[in-house]
Structure 1
């Protein structure tokens, strides 16, 4: 008797992800996705002590003389003290470290690990609850305004943060895929599910996209792709070390 094949376990809250990134975006859904991801992928659920306090955020506002968008406050209160979710590669700034690029009018909240890139919110957008995020690569000579559009909402940007930082969280569970001239290998495109995140630039490459399949998340950066497994068994299946699968 042939054993019925079980559907792949994505180990992701796709309902919350879809609601956070859909036509009527729900920023609370972004936090639900991040909470579920922390529980299932980091080994430790988010708790009350994992975020900055309202008093710390109020002090940052007073120091900067600028309002912090509601969604940025929510994010820092939710996971601002969980470097395993936010700081494996790049750095999410604490409230006392937030600063303004005064020449270009951008509040900076995240910095690449070698200070080669910065993420922020334009000062003119700080009155929005969930404003767009911009990025600046510090690999070329600065111009009058070298900040470029990145993701359309802070809430979606923090989903990207936890996914991207998870790729670097455990070297034993991560690896690389080298796409050919036409893109990802056929066995990946045929089996992996495209996640409902918009394409966005990363490492000066346009159009990064996310996929998932059987406890694997994968980011395709158009030229290289990085993946992370949730468990050793999932890594072995994906990497071809499981002879039965």
Structure 2
């Protein structure tokens, strides 16, 4: 999946038309910590990095204006954090020269697990996860769903080709280009949102009768 396709998907989901990224000069604090970063990540920062709803609504993209010493790790370049720093996401420093490296997650900065096989998958997954907290049309709250409910969702909506393995006990994503249908907690919880009112209403017509409110 090329960079333009990744960014187009994120722009469509959030309704972003203009670039809203950090300048080359603003990016320099990162290079006091590492010599390089994947071009895809650099381009994400300089194209979309300042979009608040996308990057700072629930969990947070670490920015060059952050206190970077809090996230300094000898073996990993940490670039994303859960809102209370319960877990961190990073790229192994030995992989920073790769075009589309794996992204790891840690709850203690000592033990790391692969969260996504590629950086592109991670950026798309986190955009869709943040979307359910940030988009203008959203189901307020979470639902408990059964395996039968999940099977119905899989039949009715296309599954998106990325996922989160460990955080929130695994997260899968469904829906169209403007939509984020999020199934988490091992397939037992549901929340959904859209940047399109019409699309949200179409989703809600089906999903409102699925599951039970938490």
TM-score range, shorter chain: 0.7 to 0.9
Specify which of 12, 23, 30 is matched with residue 36 of structure 1: 12
CA RMSD of aligned residues (A): 2.6
In structure 2, do the counterparts of structure 1 residues 133 and 112 end up closer, same or farther at CA, with 3 Å as the change threshold?
A: same
Residue 173 of structure 1 contacts residue 232 of structure 1 at CA under 8 Å; is this kept in 2?
no
1:102 alignment counterpart: 73
Gaps of 5+ in 2: 207-214
1:46 alignment counterpart: 18
1:92 alignment counterpart: 61
Give the aligned length: 201
Higher relative contact order by CA 8 Å / sep ≥ 6: 1 or 2? 2
The alignment's TM-score, normalised by the length of structure 1, stands at 0.71
1:82 alignment counterpart: 51
Specify which of 75, 85, 88 is matched with residue 118 of structure 1: 88
CA–CA separation in structure 2 for the residues paired with 1:124 and 1:183: 43
Could you give the per-residue CA deviations for residues 149-168 of structure 1, whole angstroms, max 9, x where no partner exists? 01122222111122111110
CA–CA separation in structure 2 for the residues paired with 1:169 and 1:90: 11
CA–CA separation in structure 1 for the residues paired with 2:148 and 2:54: 29
The alignment's TM-score, normalised by the length of structure 2, stands at 0.81
Deviation at 1:133, TM superposition (A): 0.7
CA–CA separation in structure 1 for the residues paired with 2:191 and 2:136: 12
Residue 137 of structure 2 contacts residue 193 of structure 2 at CA under 8 Å; is this kept in 1?
no
Residue 14 of structure 2 contacts residue 131 of structure 2 at CA under 8 Å; is this kept in 1?
no
CA–CA separation in structure 2 for the residues paired with 1:230 and 1:172: 6
Higher deviation after alignment, 227-236 or 111-120: 227-236
SS in 2 for 1:95: coil
Residue 178 of structure 1 contacts residue 184 of structure 1 at CA under 8 Å; is this kept in 2?
no
Deviation at 1:88, TM superposition (A): 1.0
CA–CA separation in structure 2 for the residues paired with 1:94 and 1:195: 27
1:67 alignment counterpart: 36
